[in-house]
Structure 1
Amino acid sequence: MEEIPKISEAEWQVMKLLWNSSPLTSEKIIQSLSPKHRWSEQTIKTFITRLANKEVISYEKKGRTYYYYPLYSKDDYIKSENKDFLKRVYDGALGLLLTKFLEDKDLSMDQIEQLERVLKEKRESKSSDESEDL
């Protein structure tokens, strides 16, 4: 996976809007974020500029209006953030992260069953990969 540029928590807010609905004009982004976060118009425009400079978003110009859209999917960003968090906090030890999380979290039966399904699929996939190597 290619290296995805890091973005700030505030920039995440802009990206969430663009992932939910794009392309958007800066005016639409400002209308959405300004009341919620009490950011000025200039602050939000700065976030948009930073994201464009990092090549996380791009734009299409129609007349005098710029329409912004993401260059990376939300899923790509989540995977990248998860990988960085795992490396930074748990030295890459996924099992330790999962164990700590599960020890501290109350799970519903539906959530437990979902985890069991995912683990079963992983086990079956791993088994078939190992048998193909023989």
Structure 2
Amino acid sequence: MKISDSELEILRIIWAHDGRMMFSEIVDALHAKEFEWKNNTILTFLARLTEKKVLQIQKKGRRNEYIVLLTEKDYVENETKEFVGKVYEGEVKGLIATLVENDLISNQEIEDLKDYWEKNKE
């Protein structure tokens, strides 16, 4: 399932609010982030996310509450697996080499990863 950048912005807002928000709250949060989308545009993105089974709508009187069905953790895991599979043919070493060779990872982050590895390897 492909989630557009615009849909992802909306998901990030809902994830940051415990995974459920009313439409008006989503609009306010988007405007606070300086997105000038009209309500119909936002409704279109919400409808697409609902069609993709990423969001569920719960009626609260005449208002809609949007509940996210995909956790941020699951989304990140799926996107990472797809990216490594497509770009690096499943070879994580290639990804890490690119990060190191292009100074996209600091020495401190490398040390943090080593510590993480030591604590979590079986």
Measured after TM superposition, the shift of residue 69 of structure 1 is: 1.2
Write the letter of the residue equivalent to 2:30. L
User: Identity over the aligned pairs, expressed in percent?
Assistant: 29
TM-score normalised to structure 1 length: 0.80
Matches within 5 A, 1:11-50: 11-21=7-17, 22-34=19-31, 36-50=34-48
What is the CA-CA distance between 1:115 and the residue it aligns to?
Answer: 1.2
The counterpart of 2:90, out of the listed 89, 92, 98, is: 92
Q: Where does structure 1 differ by over 4 angstroms across 4 or more consecutive aligned residues? A: none
TM-score, length-scaled by structure 2: 0.88
Count of aligned residue pairs for this structure pair: 119
Structure number with greater Rg is 1
AA aligned to 1:11 is: E
Unaligned runs of 5+ in 1: 126-134
Tell me the distance in 1 between the aligned counterparts of 2:39 and 2:62: 18
RMSD between superposed Cα atoms in Å: 1.6
1:1-134 matches, within 5 Å, as 5-21=1-17, 22-34=19-31, 36-105=34-103, 106-109=105-108, 111-121=109-119, 124-125=121-122
Could you list the runs of 5+ residues in structure 2 that have no partner in the other structure?
Answer: none
Aligned to 1:131: none
In the TM superposition, what whole-angstrom CA distance separates every residue of 1:28-71 from its partner, at most 9, and x where no partner exists? 11122146222111111100010011110102111111111110
Mapped partners of 1:52, 1:71: distance in 2? 9
> In structure 2, what is the Cα distance between the partners aligned to 1:82 and 1:112?
19
